[in-house]
Chain A
Amino acid sequence: MSNIPSELKYAPSHEWVRNDGNGTYTVGISEHAQELLGDMVFVELPEVGDVVDAGEDCAVAESVKAASDIYAPISGEIVAINEELEDSPETVNNDAYGDGWLFRIKASDESEVDNLLDAEGYAHTIDEE
């Protein structure tokens, strides 16, 4: 069973969301997702300033195994991206919930966060796979 921190929220498509305060949220992919994908070789991120809708594909995680779309868990504006991943995509594998974060969103409607799963709910979706 992979690690699913209880302080985060999750999308069924395996992204995690961390509340940074001030309406800003950090997004990454779960430990389970990186395990499924295997060693990451490229990560394509959105651009700072992009406006995304919840559920919109806005990044690509390409691993030795497959290219996988990453969806914005909530709507808003991209305010930061993890540029370190350009040279070290393996950070997503090594530290999925920490240094392997992908981008930060300034939420346009914070109530959307309530639609996401908590750790227990996400654990259930994985079990059912």
Chain B
Amino acid sequence: MTSKTVLHAKHLEAGAKMVDFHGWEMPINYGSQIEEHNAVRNDAGMFDVSHMTIVDIQGEQAQAFLRKLVANDVAKLTVPGKALYTGMLNEQGGVIDDLIIYYFSETFYRLVVNSATREKDLAHLAKVSSDFAVTVTERPEYAMIAVQGPNARAKTAKVLNADQQAAVEGMKPFFGVQAGDLFIATTGYTGEDGYEIVVPNEQAADLWQQLLDAGVAPAGLGARDTLRLEAGMNLYGLDMDESVSPLAANMAWTIAWEPEDRDFIGRDVLVKQRAEKSTHKQVGLILEEKGVLRSGSKVIVDGGEGVITSGTFSPTLGYSVALARVPRSTGDTAQVEMRKKLVNVKVVKSGFVRNGKSII
């Protein structure tokens, strides 16, 4: 039994090819994944991300709970609406999920977690929160639309009322604001400017249609994957999971080591891994000849081997790129096992494209 988002009918109307995505029937593309990718890089595209799970944390100990739950420190959040990206870890320092936390006040935060991990996330939240004076409330009454691309803000402005436009005017990246019925955030998963908009279910189809009429192109999960990979953003389940340390997944920047007495779950293991440099690291790979790097392929480096965690053809660059988990000794080049032969690849930092331009 697959779930459907409230935008399901709009996808079919737009000619979407639907696939089962972890129990949700979602659009993989509306004809051409590459054209949708390019629409986001050059203009504006929108994704239905209603399958993602929104959870509100409220109560006297909301801040204390989150300071225990996640590797980053929500005490850094002091301006209402400010968002933070981080991971919630298990006791072994593995990533249970990655998430965005929006700060409204020290007694009210909003979490957006992945859909594929919904059940275990909710179970984990319930378990950890039982020691704190907080309520954990899933918000299934909301749908979510991500509008992304250099023209995303301008095109979205056409469908907002004057108050909403004023509310988002000049909003910096990684902020969110409640504007009328919409919660509008300057977050995303593409490496482009734009919004993620949380909208009440019953208004979602109308908003989708208005955005469509404003010239925003529908984009499917296929384009979402190539866009996030070009931007060097992790996909949970591929680039990291419960067996992978955030230190091996380019998530060190999402860990707040200070103050030292903040005892977040997984801290002890991470402190040791960090001191001993015992984990692999994440790098980017570039294949300049023909062919496409694919997840699961073996990566051979000086003195060891690693694995491609996700790989794709980069429509923006015109060749294949990948994220890989490799030994810390890895240098500037590596070899990848592809279709039974070894090919040479360049090793770079994770992240290949930002705001439409190559950053290699």
- Tell me the A residues contacting B by CB distance below 8 Å: 35, 38-39, 41-42, 44, 60, 62, 64-67, 90, 93
Residues of B within 8 Å of A67, CB to CB, are 291-292, 294, 339
* Nearest 10 CB-CB pairings of A with B: A41-B313, A39-B34, A39-B33, A42-B290, A64-B33, A62-B292, A39-B32, A64-B313, A38-B33, A64-B222
B29 within 8 A of A: yes
Contact indicator per residue, chain B 307-341, by CB within 8 Å of chain A (1) or not (0): 00000110000000000000000000000000100
CB proximity of B21 to chain A, nearest CB, Å: 14
Q: Can you list 30 pairs linking A and B with CB atoms under 8 Å apart?
A: A35-B17, A38-B28, A38-B29, A38-B222, A39-B29, A39-B32, A39-B33, A39-B34, A41-B34, A41-B292, A41-B313, A42-B291, A42-B292, A42-B313, A62-B291, A62-B292, A62-B313, A64-B33, A64-B222, A64-B226, A64-B292, A64-B312, A64-B313, A65-B222, A66-B294, A67-B291, A67-B292, A67-B339, A90-B32, A90-B34
CB proximity of A123 to chain B, nearest CB, Å: 19
Residues of B within 8 Å of A93, CB to CB, are 32
CB proximity of B16 to chain A, nearest CB, Å: 13
Given contacts A41-B34, A41-B313, A93-B32, 8 further A-B contacts (CB under 8 A): A38-B222, A39-B222, A60-B339, A64-B33, A64-B226, A64-B292, A67-B292, A90-B32
Greatest chain B CB density within 10 A among A35, A39, A90 is at A39
In contact, B312 and A44 (Cβ under 8 angstroms):
no
- Tell me the B residues contacting A by CB distance below 8 Å: 17, 28-29, 32-34, 222, 226, 290-292, 294, 312-313, 339
Residues of A within 8 Å of B339, CB to CB, are 60, 67
A30→B44 CA distance, assembly (Å): 32
Chain B interface mostly:
mixed
A67→B311 CA distance, assembly (Å): 13
A41→B339 CA distance, assembly (Å): 16
In contact, A44 and B32 (Cβ under 8 angstroms):
no
Q: Which residue of B lies closest to A65 (CB)?
A: B222
A90→B31 CA distance, assembly (Å): 12
CB proximity of A87 to chain B, nearest CB, Å: 11
Q: Which residue of B lies closest to A93 (CB)?
A: B32
Residues of A within 8 Å of B34, CB to CB, are 39, 41, 64, 90
A62→B226 CA distance, assembly (Å): 15
CB proximity of B313 to chain A, nearest CB, Å: 4
A64→B290 CA distance, assembly (Å): 13
In contact, A44 and B290 (Cβ under 8 angstroms):
yes
Residues of A within 8 Å of B292, CB to CB, are 41-42, 62, 64, 67
Residues of A within 8 Å of B33, CB to CB, are 38-39, 64
Q: Which residue of A lies closest to B34 (CB)?
A: A39
A90→B33 CA distance, assembly (Å): 11
A90→B318 CA distance, assembly (Å): 13
A93→B294 CA distance, assembly (Å): 21
Q: Which residue of A lies closest to B318 (CB)?
A: A41
Greatest chain B CB density within 10 A among A38, A41, A44, A62 is at A41
Residues of A within 8 Å of B29, CB to CB, are 38-39
Q: Which residue of A lies closest to B313 (CB)?
A: A41
Residues of B within 8 Å of A42, CB to CB, are 290-292, 313
CB proximity of A99 to chain B, nearest CB, Å: 16
Residues of B within 8 Å of A90, CB to CB, are 32, 34
A62→B29 CA distance, assembly (Å): 17
CB proximity of A31 to chain B, nearest CB, Å: 13
A38→B19 CA distance, assembly (Å): 13
A67→B292 CA distance, assembly (Å): 8
A42→B34 CA distance, assembly (Å): 13
A66→B222 CA distance, assembly (Å): 12
A98→B267 CA distance, assembly (Å): 60
Q: Which residue of A lies closest to B338 (CB)?
A: A67
Residues of B within 8 Å of A41, CB to CB, are 34, 292, 313
CB proximity of A125 to chain B, nearest CB, Å: 20
Residues of B within 8 Å of A60, CB to CB, are 339
